[in-house]
A = this chain, B = another copy of it.
Amino acid sequence: MKTDLTRLQRRLKISFAHPGLLQEALTHRSAGSRNNERLEFLGDAALGFVIAHELFHRFPKAREGELSRMRASLVNQTTLAALARRLELGEWLILGAGELKSGGFRRDSILSDALEAVIGAIVEDRGIEPCRHWILSLFSEHLAALEEGSWQKDPKTRLQEFLQSRGLSLPRYELISQQGSPHDQEFTVACQVELLDAACHGCGRSRKHAEQQAAAAALKKLSERFGKDL
């Protein structure tokens, strides 16, 4: 565990008027009651706003559902943990004995929360405008990749991510029928989702394509149920 916060500020390319905020942002709840959870709450909201604002401007023709999906592809535990690793945040984390022993400094959830807390500390120390610049610089490659359409995930991935984000079981796909001659086959697949009473079906010339169609049908039903474009 490194303790030289001056070095970390150089690494983050930002200097804090109140380095105590940075220290708080690095303190996991396992290390005591003055930990990074409050700053994470603030940072999560700031990050959500900054990315929404940026996407709104970069993609003037994207619909709301597309903007939401793009944001979800940037702001999620996996991406945030990868960015935290690039900043080497893990080396500066302040963890309790148990988490230290079990390698908490490598865990996605702890790294992702710490990065959000660092963002909260920057908002608090410097204000939203400098924080916005810092976030946009951190996400610059990810934002550039969006312009190439990499966020347009396939229906199976989107369905899985939606269910996981709500702590629900993964969808189950089942081959219902396979018809036609070897070179002209039609597959039918059923997709079972915890939130939907009836299975959703999809057809296609390959099993994989039928699964994607079934996932798309499930997403459509869930979109109606939740009143938003998934």
Contacts and interface: CB of A to CB of B under 8 A. Distances in A.
A116 to B, nearest CB: 11
Interface of A: 37-38, 40-42, 44-46, 48-49, 51-53, 56, 62-64, 67-68, 109, 120, 123-124, 128, 166-168, 195, 225-227
19 contacts: A38-B56, A40-B64, A41-B56, A41-B64, A42-B53, A42-B56, A44-B52, A45-B51, A45-B53, A46-B49, A46-B53, A48-B48, A49-B49, A49-B128, A53-B123, A53-B128, A56-B120, A56-B124, A167-B225
Copies in the complex: 2
Contacts of A41: 52, 56, 64, 67-68
Contacts of A51: 45
Contacts of A166: 166
A38 B53 contact: no
A62 to B, nearest CB: 8
A30 B44 CA distance: 32
Contacts of A45: 48-49, 51-53
